[in-house]
Amino acid sequence: MSEFGDGALIACESLVRIYQSGPVEVQALQGLDLVVERGEMVAVVGASGSGKSTLLSILAGIDAPTAGRARVDRWDLLSMSRADRVRYRRHTVGFVRQQTASNLIPYLTASEMVDLPMTTAGVPARERRRRTTDLLGSLGVADFAARHPSQLSGGQQMRVAIAVALANQPEVLFADEPTGELDTATSAEVFGALRDVNRDLGVTVVIVTHDPAVSGQVERTVAIRDGRTSSEVLRRTATADDGGTHVIAEEYAVMDRAGRIQVPRDYREALELTRRVRLALEPDHITIRPDA
């Protein structure tokens, strides 16, 4: 039998993270499933408090899950040793944090910040200089290489933060609300930059956001609600009979391996579905009826 998420770059199954704050238990993730293929650019959307940052900290190797399974590349995030975790964070993943400023070091210039993670990883000086120039160029901030964070706009700071995250050529880039502090036009630019690195450098990109408008910018959006994956929207471009192209977006409910799905609230309310429903198997579909 094939394993869940075989061949995928990222596979999370029934992922649980419980925070203990005093006597109170907070279930930030309650059995989340997520599969991301190599080379994809995916958005994870969800309301504030739905568990997005928790998911990214786990995937970035900063936080550890309470239960479930999580694999990125060849690393099992639940059983990896401390030394492997350091290696993983240094070489496999790049992480852009939610607060733009927390990604940057006030007293370093843009090129010094990109250089730093490579120095830590022991990359030779010549290679460091080459990669720094290439990355700042790819992200459209080559002209600001000698500037400090305070001399950069919010959008420029975010581009530099992305360059820093890509310095050690990670397989995957995680970005937590990368456009949360930016205006609409600047957000669109930063998104463009993320799409460019996804396409040109082949790095897999996972973006977390509470902004539903972001889904229009990527091919696949995964929605999480209450710490669980609830639906997915896939987008593709189709050509109409008149030759014009348009984008088709289709929404799917996500079913876990035990067969659980979440019925959207408006569907439940429309038919007054409560605790018990009637399921019936038809030749090519399943019906759900109220228990009346």
Residues of this chain that bind ligand ADP (CB under 6 A)? 19, 21, 26, 28, 46, 48-54
In three-state secondary structure terms, 217 is helix
Cβ contact 19:26 at 8 Å: yes
Q: Minimum distance between the CB of residue 29 and Mg ion, rounded to whole angstroms? A: 13
| Range in contact with Mg ion (rule: CB under 5 A) among 28-36, 46-54, 154-162, 254-262 | 46-54
53 binds Mg ion (CB under 5 A): yes
The partner in contact with residue 21, picked from ligand ADP, Mg ion, none with C-beta cut-offs of 5 to 8 angstroms by kind, is ligand ADP
Place of tokens 């009637």: 278
Q: Minimum distance between the CB of residue 209 and Mg ion, rounded to whole angstroms? A: 9
- Cβ-based nearer residue to ligand ADP, 16 or 273: 16
Gap between the Cα atoms of 264 and 271, Å rounded: 11
109 binds Mg ion (CB under 5 A): no
Q: What is the side-by-side strand order in the sheet with 204-209?
A: 93-96, 172-176, 204-209, 41-45, 220-225, 228-239, 245-253
Q: Minimum distance between the CB of residue 248 and ligand ADP, rounded to whole angstroms? A: 28
Gap between the Cα atoms of 149 and 211, Å rounded: 26
- Cβ-based nearer residue to ligand ADP, 24 or 279: 24
211 binds Mg ion (CB under 5 A): no
Lookup: tokens for 143 = 């002209």
Contacts with Mg ion, residue ranges (CB under 5 A): 52-53
